[in-house]
Amino acid sequence: MLDLVSLKEFGYNFLGPILSSFTSNVYRQLKKQPKSTVYHLAREGYALKKAFDIHTESKNYDSHYLYASRTFLFRITLDLKESWELSVNHSFEGTLKDFFIARYAFSSEEVDEILKDVEGVSKVKLPADNKIIFEILEQKKALISSLVENSRKCYLQYLDKINFTGKETLPVVLDIGYSGTIQKLLALLANKHVEGIYMVTTRSGGGRIGNATYQISHCFKTSVKMGSGYILLDRSMFLESLLTAPDGQFVDILPGVEQDKFNFCFGKRNHNQENFYKLDYLLSGALQCISDMQINNVEFSTEEIEKLFEMYVTHRNLLPRASWPLFILDDAISGQGDLNPLDFFGL
Instruction: Output Rg (C-alpha) for the chain, integer angstroms.
Output: 20
Residue 150 has pLDDT above 90, yes or no: yes
pLDDT digits (tens, 9 = 90+) for 125-138: 999 999 999 999 99
Annotated domain spans of the chain = 2-71+152-344, 72-147
Residue 333: predicted pLDDT = 61
Residue 50 has pLDDT above 90, yes or no: yes
Residue 313: predicted pLDDT = 95
Residue 2: predicted pLDDT = 77
Residue 253 has pLDDT above 90, yes or no: yes
Residue 347 has pLDDT above 80, yes or no: no
Residue 144: predicted pLDDT = 97
- Global pTM exceeds 0.75: yes
pLDDT digits (tens, 9 = 90+) for 89-114: 988 999 999 999 999 999 999 999 99
Give φ, ψ of 259 to 5 degrees.
Answer: -65, 140
Element (H, E) at 309: helix 302-313
Give the confidence band of 345 by pLDDT, cuts at 50, 70, 90. Answer: confident
Of the two residues 315 and 2, the one the predictor is more confident about is 315
Dihedral sign from CA coordinates of 309, 314, 318, 323: positive
Of the two residues 310 and 2, the one the predictor is more confident about is 310
End-to-end CA distance of the chain: 26
Residue 120 has pLDDT above 80, yes or no: no
Give the confidence band of 312 by pLDDT, cuts at 50, 70, 90. Answer: very high
d(CA 44, CA 308) in angstroms, rounded, equals 20
Residue 235: predicted pLDDT = 95
d(CA 274, CA 14) in angstroms, rounded, equals 23
DSSP-assigned states of every residue in 114-131: HTTT--S--EEEETTTHH
pLDDT digits (tens, 9 = 90+) for 5-15: 999 999 999 99
Give the confidence band of 334 by pLDDT, cuts at 50, 70, 90. Answer: low
DSSP SS3 for 221:
strand
Nearest to 278 by CA among 24, 2, 7: 7
Tell me whether strands 338-339 and 329-330 are parallel, antiparallel or unpaired: antiparallel
Distances (CA, A) of 288 to 13, 19, 293: 10, 11, 9
Question: What's the whole-number average pLDDT of the chain?
Answer: 93
Dihedral sign from CA coordinates of 46, 51, 54, 60: negative
CB 87 within 8 A of CB 103: yes
pLDDT digits (tens, 9 = 90+) for 214-248: 999 999 999 999 899 999 999 999 999 999 999 98
Residue 57 has pLDDT above 70, yes or no: yes
Residue 282: predicted pLDDT = 97
Axis crossing angle, helix 16-30 with helix 44-53, rounded to the nearest 10: 70
Residue 335 has pLDDT above 70, yes or no: no
pLDDT digits (tens, 9 = 90+) for 257-273: 888 789 999 988 888 99
